[in-house]
Structure 1
Amino acid sequence: MKILILFALVAAATALPSFDFDSYDGYQAGDPSVPVAQKQKHVNNLLWKIYDHLHDGELKTIAGSFTPEADKSIYTDGGEAVHHLVQELNDHRLLEQHHWFSLFNERQREEALMLFDVFMHCKNWICFVNNAVYWREKMNEGEFVYALYTAVIHSDLAEGVVLPPLYEVTPHLFTNSEIIQKAYTAKMTHTPGKFHMEFTGTKKNKEQRVAYFGEDIGMNTHHVTWHMDYPFWWKDSYGYHLDRKGELFFWVHHQLTIRFDAERLSNWLDPVDELHWENPIEEGFAPHTIYKYGGEFPARPDHIHFEDVDGVARVRDMIIMESRIRDAIAHGYIEADDGSHIDIMNDRGIDKLGDIIESSLYSPNRQYYGALHNLAHIMLGRQGDPHGKYDMPPGVMEHFETATRDPSFFRLHKYMDNIFKEHKDSLPPYTREELEFPGINAESIGVEGELKTFFEGYEFDLRNAVDSAEGIEDVELKSHVHRLNHHDFSFVADITNNNRNPVLATLRIYLCPRRDSNGVIFEFDDGRWGCIEMDKFWRKLKPGSNHIVRKSSDSSVTVPDVPHFQTLIDAANSGNVDFSEHSRACGIPNRMFLPKGKKDGMEFALVLTVTDGSHDATHDNPEDGEHGGSHSLCGAHGESYPDKRPMGYPIDRQMPDRRVFESVPNFVMQIVKIYHDESVH
């Protein structure tokens, strides 16, 4: 009861919207009594200056008075999760503050998930925010940020809340150390500053040509957010099943890898080579990045051989895990932990294969197949100090925020992508009957507008990178980066429906590099594996001619920029919060929708496939909604994946005879060129 009285006093003393705290137990997930603007303000304040103590008066008061176990009726599990976390705190077992955090550290992940579990068992927002405030002051900052982000993503209580961009919450993970040092100098001298951030390396390193892709803060955000949307540690007891999670793991990383290859071709580089455990890691990496607390991210020299990592894995363990997975593909089944066989020679086999390769808790036999993906990230991250001789902190590969900065990330995922391809190539090719859509002719596919890319300047806030001092106001601190963008355009298609009645159609658009780095045209079956998914949507086709126009900004694989932290603060303070288009940060940045291309144009094959939507669609009336925007790569929260077909259909399987593809009237292809404007906008 003391807690309720405190909340009533705080609410009355502030200019925030007032709540009826007497009906505390009545707050439910969708209860309008707690406005989204208030929830947004709470989240903003919880994530602002995460390494400092709370500044907000309301939350600071709660932190000093709330007792997590005082009223266990506010939890759906009777307080079991919070009791466990309180015990860990009282026993002094939790990681201290001002220490680095890595999700790949088993104990640190366990602690973060203890807090996540508390959030997910809260019955109402009051319980959620009280615990967030209390534990923010007690737990390691990295663990807290991870638990809060994943809870806001997955909890119905936080519906409508937009998470600030991680690159403005924890800038150290996204910004070069030189920029951080300049920001500290500016803060100490109380001088506003805007600092230009270069990509790592020099022109002596050919990998520098594509650093704009792996080091792009929007691409980093997509990667880390996908792993929050579909975490490998997820259990269905948290509330729902993550539909086709293993297949999504394959598809999203396949798309990242082939997009990287397209950028390499745009810069006269060969596609990335796959990693081999017995061969040297060709490309070294100097991250030029530091932890807020814990020193510099370790560097890795060129041409080093893999070494066993003490306490993690031996090189031979990685080879054994790989061989067991390849044996499963060769046999056509996975051996479950109870000894039964799970058939993977079908459309859903890729989902099970993704679960065991990623090392997901969904894996049917984690003991036997191991943790290939997760251990590979740690193995690569520790090669600078594999035996702990120098007690170095984790490498960039041990954080999803920073992993794509390292060129070895794409070598690792090309290696895993080739394992997935081995499975896909073992499946029989699609027959004409499986490909065609009777009565439908795809007449043409093209673009309206020019396919032209350019680099633009972009600024993001660095104020959370520096410490605060009482009585000293913040000054404007920003990092300026160059990033890839493109001019707006639309896909245009003409489709004839020769049936007497309207039909529901699924339209899938792919963009496929046409030539290799030597200018040689890809063979048909080789080229299809490098096709980039550009869009997937549903349309009702009336009898006769149908002219379809689809804006590039409406793509099902991309998302717009996350609003700046300050934008979210201003919106919450004004009570005007409507960021429905930013409901998810998972998705390719829409400005990186197109590969860079070349000054004189780079050829791509633009492919349209039109298939039977009544067979494909999972949900009713799919043409009326976008299923969470970036559903092609990120699915739909708490729902079935919108498309029943395999991800990548119909180019996911071998095509030994291109005439089958070319003879199907519901498929059409057009050669297009992407141009790059070399002047900086």
Structure 2
Amino acid sequence: MSTHQRTFTSILTTTKTTVKSTFTVFRNEDVIEANEITKKYYTIANDTTKYSDSIQAVFDQAIEDCKTQDVRMVQHALMTFVTHHPEARKRRIKIPSLSHRNPKLSIPAKAVYMAPGPVVGDKPIAPTEDVSGEQFLDYWREDPNLNEHHEHWHIVYTDQPLPDPLFPDDKSKEYIKDRQGELFIYMHRQMNARYIAERLGIGLGVTKPLENYHELIPESYTPSKHLVDNNDQTTFSARASGLKLADVAFPGRGGGPGYQITISELEKARDLIRKTVEQGHFDDEKKTPITVELLGRAIESGLNQPGFEKYGTPFHNFGHMLLAFINFQNTKELDSGVMGDVRVACRDPAFWRWHRHVDNLFKAYQEKLGPNHFNDCPPVKISSDGIILCFKDKIPCIKGLKDPQQDEEASKWGEQTFGGHHFHKEHGQHSTDVLETKMKQRQFTWVEDDQSSQTIEYLFPREWYYFFRVENTSNKNITLTFRVFIVPAELCNNFTEWIEVDKFKQEIPANCRTVVARDCDRSSVVRQPPQKTLDELDDTAITAGTGDQESEEEQYCDCGWPFHLLLPRGSRNGMKFKLFVFISDWEKDKVPRVTRCGSLSFCGAEKPKDKYPDIRPMGYPFDRPFKDGSFEKVFIKHIYRLG
């Protein structure tokens, strides 16, 4: 580990303070203030004439800042710095995993309750009588890697303009990452679709949106007593059943002016968004047409730009804050619930209800667009038996191999087994129509205490390969984008419930039938390289670098969905899903081949100002409603096989 990495890690892990942090990414003013600190760090890092080691100078300044400013704010600013500044990225200074830098914020609830009817191969575990249905999903909501994904995404995609790393004082060069607003909606929609699939697997039903701000919220949430911030010993308040949202007045930081968030403001912001969607344009003087980007940003954190003053209320963020401080009406103490901290917000069932409501506001806009027409499909076919799934442990030639040799051998095996004169034949004994998951156990160690540990459970898939039989009917080579989705069969007619599991580029020779092999762990949504081993699950997947020779983009490897949650859990007797492969023209998509770094779909471009690596709308072809509300009516003429 380099000296820089050790210093950076120490700032995040060992800084102690007796002053309770009030920083949250769900308050715009806090993020703006943190970005000013990041701006200062950029300036120091760029001054190579004054500092012989400007990166170390940044860390020295951060250590001093922690003594006088909100520690969480300084740490957030510093993590933003190492994520976006080219010199820090070039040196591969990496953000340690949440379980390493703040282990007490990573531990799930100690008592793990499993619902009746677990996955194939597992024995039922009877729930205790005092457990509500929501607690059956603790293993998923409180998964340390899921929560780390959510936190890291909000570091990469901060919702306020960032200064340019190389020109921090030039306000005209401030930027928000390409398609930030659209990706905010899509990434959280995908999280919710996965959560709903988990709910269906244990019989809880679809998540109910939290759209009535005056209702008594029946779901409760009590965090583990061990859930404590390592730096300032912050704990999180429980949220009892039967509470409802109420106005909250917050004191200012450091004796500064306070602020208030009210239900009335939240309702006005919601109603303005609904009005905007209904009329088809923003309520500004120019009547600016709606774009997915502007609407997504307006919903997340408001629009802080000339002409859009009406849209200044950060609707999504206000919801987080009101839910986080729902106890204020009873105790008059500002002890935040987990909804106020991006590192742990996903643990609360209210997170998923709130985001279901947030997504429905955006969905209303998409429904007004009408169905896609798909008049630019490439000249390719998938045979009636063209989608083949094979478990890796059933492919004998790849046993013990690693990439790239594993992929090479799997491709050869797939062509020999399913291609050539076998192209239209039955799949045979090697294939499966049932994908499997199981619950595993691992030990979580309290590294900063006495090295004691406890057992936690987590979901893991049985790994597989896709083999796609594809025919190019044209007389020229063609480059394609394969888009792979799954959905619980009962929800297939709702376009927002389709779960992206992969997206990749592949060239097919002219007038050729071929078999395309694809490893499940190369998924476009998964953090790359995937975390599979116990060591990888408990720490960053790539060891921090030691010098300047490494790729500066590799900081983005830490962004992406956890591999072990790639598939929904399913049910003991099997849960019916549809698997859908949509093939589009790469020349119209420009989707790059996924490197073994980061998540293409959730984390976008690797460099801060690059374009998002897909021209199509996010979630395409499931970015618009189906004709007559029917999946098959829209796709039937494009489908050669429905899984």
TM-score class, shorter-chain normalisation, is 0.7 to 0.9
Identify the residue that residue 231 of structure 1 maps to in structure 2: 158
2:483 counterpart of 1:540:
no
Q: Which residue of 2 aligns with 1:483?
A: 458
**What amino acid is aligned across from residue 244 of structure 1 in structure 2?**
R
1:114 aligned residue (36, 40, 49): 36
Q: Deviation at 1:440?
A: 4.3
- Counterparts of 1:382-397 in structure 2 under 5 Å? 382-386=325-329, 389-397=331-339
Q: Give matches, 1:288-303, under 5 Å.
A: 288=224, 289-292=227-230, 293=232, 296-303=235-242
- Whether 1:500 and 2:442 are equivalent positions in the alignment is no
1:357 to 296, 299, 320: 299
Cα distance between partner residues in 2 of 1:298 and 1:653: 40
Question: Given that residues 511 and 532 in structure 1 are in contact (C-alpha distance below 8 angstroms), is that contact kept between their aligned partners in structure 2?
Answer: yes
CA distance in 1, matches of 2:553, 2:605: 15
What residue is the counterpart of 1:675 in the other structure?
none
**Aligned equivalent of 1:50:** 15
Q: Determine which of 222, 235, 247 is the counterpart of 1:308.
A: 247
Once the two structures are TM-superposed, the CA of residue 351 in structure 1 deviates from its matched residue by: 1.5
Q: Which moved more, 1:218-227 or 1:301-310?
A: 301-310
Aligned partners of 2:20 and 2:234 also within 8 Å: no
Q: Are 2:642 and 1:670 equivalent residues in the alignment?
A: yes
- The within-5 A match list for 1:468-479 is 475-479=450-454
Contact 2:108 2:139 in 1 (8 A): no
Q: Secondary structure at the match of 1:335?
A: coil
Find the counterpart in structure 2 of residue 242 from structure 1. 177
1:427 aligns with: 369
- State whether residues 221 and 585 of structure 1, in contact with CA within 8 Å, keep that contact through their aligned partners in structure 2: no
One-letter code aligned to 1:300: R
Deviation at 1:374, TM superposition (A): 0.7
Q: Map residues 490-529 of structure 1 onto 2, 5 A cutoff.
A: 490-515=465-490, 522=491, 525-526=493-494, 528-529=495-496
In 2, Cα distance between the equivalents of 1:438 and 1:578? 37
Q: 1:99/1:654 Cα in 2 relative to 1: closer, same or farther (>3 Å)?
A: closer
Kindly state the Cα deviation for residue 575 of structure 1 after the two structures are TM-superposed.
Answer: 12
Q: Which consecutive unaligned segments of at least 5 residues does structure 1 have?
A: 1-35, 53-95, 180-199, 467-474, 516-521, 672-681
Whether 1:629 and 2:598 are equivalent positions in the alignment is yes
Asked if structure 1 preserves the Cα contact closer than 8 Å seen for 2:600 and 2:613, the reply is yes
How far 1:651 moved relative to its partner?
1.7
Q: Name which of 440, 452, 456 aligns with 1:456.
A: 440
Whether 1:172 and 2:104 are equivalent positions in the alignment is: yes
Letter in 1 for 2:15: I
Q: Which of 223, 230, 251 pairs up with 2:186?
A: 251
The amino acid that maps onto 1:487 is: R
Q: CA deviation at 1:45?
A: 3.6
The reply to whether residue 604 of structure 1 matches residue 572 of structure 2 is: no
Q: Out of 273, 280, 285, which is 1:325 matched to?
A: 273
Greater shift in the superposed pair: 353-362 or 438-447? 438-447
**Given residue 435 of structure 2, which amino acid in structure 1 is its aligned partner?**
L
**Same amino acid, percent of matched pairs:** 26
TM-score by length of 2: 0.77
Match of 2:206 among 261, 271, 276: 271
- Distance (Å, rounded) in 1 between the aligned partners of 2:84 and 2:451: 33
Answer whether contact 2:502 2:524 (CA < 8 A) is retained.
yes
Matches within 5 A, 1:172-211: 172-175=104-107, 204-211=131-138
The separation in 1 between residues aligned to 2:365 and 2:536, in whole angstroms, is: 40
Displacement, 1:479?
4.6
Inter-CA distance 505–575: structure 2 relative to 1 (3 Å threshold):
closer
Equivalent residue for 1:286?
Answer: 222
Q: Give the structure 2 partner of residue 148 of structure 1.
A: 78
TM-score, normalization: structure 1?
0.73
Match of 2:346 in 1: 404
Residue 569 of structure 2 aligns with an amino acid whose one-letter code is K
Q: Secondary structure at the match of 2:459?
A: strand
In 1, the alpha carbon distance for the partners of 2:499 and 2:157 equals: 21
Question: How many residues are treated as equivalent by the alignment?
Answer: 543
Deviations 1:416-447 (A, max 9, x none): 1111111110002112415x323544652231
- How big is each residue's C-alpha offset from its partner over 1:623-677, in whole Å with a ceiling of 9 and x where there is no partner? 4x53943111110132111110001111221112555534434x44433xxxxxx
Equivalent residue of 2:576, what SS? strand
RMSD: 3.2
Indicate the larger mover: 250-259 or 143-152. Answer: 143-152
Say if 1:379 and 1:133 are closer, same or farther in 2 by CA, change over 3 A.
same
SS at match of 1:653: coil
**Corresponding letter in the other structure for 1:601:** G
Relative to structure 1, the CA distance from residue 479 to residue 152 in structure 2 (aligned partners, 3 Å threshold; closer, same or farther) is farther
Q: d(CA) in 2 for partners of 1:217 and 1:529?
A: 26
Which residue is equivalent to 2:400?
A: none
Question: What SS does structure 2 have at the residue aligned with 1:327?
Answer: helix
Whether the 8 Å CA contact 1:164–1:568 is kept in 2: the answer is: no
The alignment partner of 2:219 has SS state of coil
**Offset from partner CA, 1:205-243 (integer Å, 9 cap, x none):** 110111111111000001011111101123354565411
Structure 2 residue 103 is the aligned partner of structure 1 residue 103? no
Q: Residue type of the partner of 1:136?
A: I
Structure 1 position 110, deviation (Å): 4.9
Contact 1:232 1:360 in 2 (8 A): no
Q: Which amino acid aligns with 2:516?
A: I
Q: 2:25 aligns to what SS in structure 1?
A: coil
Between 1:404-413 and 1:313-322, the stretch displaced more is: 313-322
1:602 match: secondary structure: coil
- Residues 97, 114 of structure 1: alpha-carbon distance in 2 compared, 3 angstrom cutoff: farther
Q: What secondary structure sits across from 1:312 in the alignment?
A: strand
Deviation at 1:615, TM superposition (A): 0.7
Cα deviation, residue 48, structure 1:
3.8
- Offset at residue 100 of structure 1 (A): 5.3
More displaced 10-residue stretch of structure 1: 204-213 or 121-130? 121-130
Tell me the amino acid that sits aligned with residue 243 of structure 1.
D
- Going from structure 1 to structure 2, the CA distance change for 1:223 and 1:659 (only over 3 Å counts) comes to closer
Question: Closer, same or farther in 2 for the Cα pair 1:177/1:145, shift >3 Å?
Answer: farther
1:175 Cα deviation after fit? 2.9
1:287-320 deviation digits (Å, cap 9, x = unpaired):
1333443653111211222222224322122111
Matched, 1:371 2:306: no
Closer, same or farther in 2 for the Cα pair 1:350/1:669, shift >3 Å?
Answer: farther
**1:103 and 1:488 mapped to 2: Cα distance?**
36
| Aligned CA distance change for structure 1 residues 557 and 177 (closer, same or farther; 3 Å) | closer
* Structure 1 contact 496–546 (Cα < 8 Å) conserved: yes
Cα gap change, 1:627 to 1:318, in 2 (>3 Å): farther
- 1:303 is matched by which residue type in structure 2? G
Give the equivalent residue in structure 2 for 1:342. Answer: 288
Tell me how far 1:167 sits from its aligned partner.
Answer: 2.2
User: Does the CA contact (< 8 Å) of 2:79 and 2:95 recur in 1?
Assistant: yes
Query: Secondary structure in 1 aligned to 2:15?
Result: coil
Change (3 A) 1:308 1:409: same
Give, in whole Å, the separation in 2 of the partners of 1:573 and 1:411.
Answer: 44
Query: Which residue number in structure 2 is paired with residue 446 of structure 1?
Result: 388
The alignment partner of 2:471 has SS state of: strand
Q: How far 1:379 moved relative to its partner?
A: 0.6
Could you tell me whether the CA contact under 8 Å between 2:189 and 2:496 is conserved in 1? no
The 1:430/1:98 distance shift into structure 2, 3 A limit, reads closer
CA distance in 1, matches of 2:617, 2:178: 13
Measure, in 1, the Cα distance between the counterparts of 2:362 and 2:564: 29
1:134 aligns with 61
Write the letter of the residue equivalent to 1:385: F
Instruction: Say whether the 8 Å CA contact 2:324–2:336 is kept in structure 1.
Output: yes
Instruction: Measure how far apart 1:451 and its partner are.
Output: 1.6
